[in-house]
Amino acid sequence: MKRLIALFCLAAFPAHALQPVTINYGVSQFIVSTAAVFSIPKAMGFWQEEGLDVTAQGADGAGPALQQLIAGRVSMTLTGLPSAMELINKGAPIKIAASAYADNVFYPVVLEESPIRTIQDFKDKTIGVTALASTNTIWMKAIAKAYGLNPDRDLKLVGVGSGAAPLQALRSGRLDALQLFEAEYDADEGQGVKFRRFNDMPVLKDLSFVQGLMVNQADIAANPKLVLGLLRGIAKAAVWAGAHPEDAVRLHWKIFPLTKPQGQDEVTALAHATLVLKHQLAHYTRPFGAAEPARVIATRDALFEFGGLTKKLEADDYYTTALVAQANAFDAAAIAALPVPK
């Protein structure tokens, strides 16, 4: 009943009664794995119930996305946390308000038929990363060190870009392994590739503070209702999408039609996109946004050791827990039971 009343109230007011808000993403395309952050909160009316009319825009990398946040042109940014942490080191007035993942989705893979079966087998092998300056390099070095390898002596890291190039290099034998991220592996496997994934390592949970949502410190202080509304909408969307993954994919394609795969029949495309989204949601923090200080410190120390940070601050200098409980203060069972909007 409360839900029906809320929807009636929204319909009773003109669109301009909602507060216009812009958020952004450190990537130009809103792939289906981002549905709970960018499409489902809008499609399900969760943001509208918070009084917000939210527009999402992409950016050409974490740096440009965060600069827009610092300048006040957007109210929230989803991107990798290392870039935000270094900007905070330099005095940027931003704060990490939510950690997205309970484990690290940036892990290595090899082709299923590869003789590489342990992390120790990566010694002297050629591993493709997006770029040598990317954080993929840092995570690979941290994983190698955790398993007794010398990251500087034992790894051969090669920048191979993004898109189709890394997979082509792996299949041709120019690379022995890839160190990218799970959603990209899922996309490749949708094209018939089979990987052996090194995704079940304790170090991936230790270094889980890798991606999340950043906001301006000024908004936390002066406009907490805005920040909470954005976060609560996303937290609800994660719950609903987990209960309705196929419907969530369809809604995502409706809002971002260019993300719908071309050249595949509808059934195949939907099945694969649903798998990608389910994998993503399985990694989400519960409650959404939560991170233990020890995880923040573990990531900080790894970044500092391998060149991703120039100094170390305390955990609460980077991340605030102040908003997590309120953002998740809703009836999750009731949200999961909501029908697909007509």
Q: How much is the pLDDT for 140? A: 97
As averages over each run of 10 residues, the pLDDT of the chain (342 residues) reads 41 65 94 96 98 96 95 96 96 98 96 97 97 92 97 96 91 97 90 94 96 96 96 98 98 96 88 94 97 97 96 98 96 98 87
Token representation of residue 112: 């299923």
Q: Which residues contact 124 (CB under 8 A, 6 or more apart)?
A: 154, 156
Q: How much is the pLDDT for 190? A: 82
| This prediction's pTM | 0.90
Q: How far apart are CA 246 and CA 253, in angstroms?
A: 11
Q: How much is the pLDDT for 263? A: 79
Domains detected in the chain = 2-102+209-336 (3.40.190.10), 108-206 (3.40.190.10)
Q: Which residues contact 147 (CB under 8 A, 6 or more apart)?
A: 118, 119, 120, 201, 203
Q: How much is the pLDDT for 16? A: 57
